[in-house]
Amino acid sequence: MDANQDKDKILLIHLGGLGDMCLSESTFLSLSRHFEGNIEALGYTRFLKLFNEYFIKIHRIESIKWLHLFSDRCPDIIYKQIIFIGKDRVGNLRQRWKGFSREPLIFIEMYPEDQSMLHSSTFTGKTNKKHAANTVHVEDYQLAQLEQYGIRAIKKEIKPKPLYRTILYPEKGFQKNKWPLENFMQLYKSLKLKAMDVRILESLGTSIDIKDKISFQELSDIKEFFLEGGIFVSNDSGMAHLAGMCGLFSITIFIDFNPLIWHPRGRFLTFRQDTDIIDISLIENKIIELTAKDLQQVIQ
């Protein structure tokens, strides 16, 4: 690799998953405005490509080209500046990467350490003042760190979409516990009986025996589907964050993590399984209530 071609490069490194990327969108926006759009991004391209507008180029982290960032071999490669959004508890990555950055490395910690702190009560999109001092949402947590670098924090506006349909997204639990698939199926059948417009979005690794289920292979296609609007019902997942980012009203069931810190952006309603009594009728009534209220606003 020619070191000279990288000396003027501003390289943003973000190695998070889908949900992490969606929660970092306002940080991407703030950094892009500050550096006048002159940022190249490095990470998992299937996620980063959802945010093309903030970067002049996107690089695939799996490429051998970037091995120097993680190996003991230290080639003579210097970037103008490295921006790192992530977790680095011990500081090893920062210590290593600052040697590749001509200007001081910018480090934005991805999320607060008290991520799983429990709070009772359903969270409905309004800050509970009793707990506000102890919790900070991931988006706000990242934006607050920009000030120390002289970067103005800009929160990306999410334009709400109409709620004419409901999208259910059941999935299997791998690293997280999940509200069971059977509950989503019962909710689907009940909404169908009430003549509601309801869809099942099939997740990777889940086989659902419904003829009118919807499946996509590309995240860009899912994003286009979400931009049409609706209510999105799911477990805590990266897809919930993508739905919220696209303007859907998200109803998210949390089991392992704190919704005050991790709720999707935009309009949302969250439930915590060990503190809220979550049953199918509760979710169904919320969907009917939201749909009716949105329809009334359209009529008026």
Q: Which residues contact 149 (CB under 8 A, 6 or more apart)?
A: 106
* 98: Cα separation from own chain's centroid: 27
- The structure tokens listed for 125 are 């999109």
Helix axes 219-226, 238-245, angle to 10 degrees: 50
CA torsion angle for 32, 33, 35, 36 (degrees, to 10)?
Answer: 100
Report the distance separating Cα 259 and Cα 278, nearest Å.
15
Report the distance separating Cα 102 and Cα 170, nearest Å.
46
Predicted pLDDT at 74: 66
8 A C-beta contact, residue 170 and residue 280: no
Residues 12-25: tens digit of each pLDDT: 999 999 999 999 99
CA torsion angle for 291, 287, 199, 217 (degrees, to 10)?
Answer: 100
Report the distance separating Cα 239 and Cα 205, nearest Å.
14
Predicted pLDDT at 128: 42
Predicted pLDDT at 267: 98
Return the SS3 of 249.
Answer: strand
Q: 217: which DSSP letter?
A: S
Report the distance separating Cα 197 and Cα 161, nearest Å.
15
Residues in the chain where the model's pLDDT stays below 70: 1-5, 73-75, 114-134, 173-176, 205, 298, 300
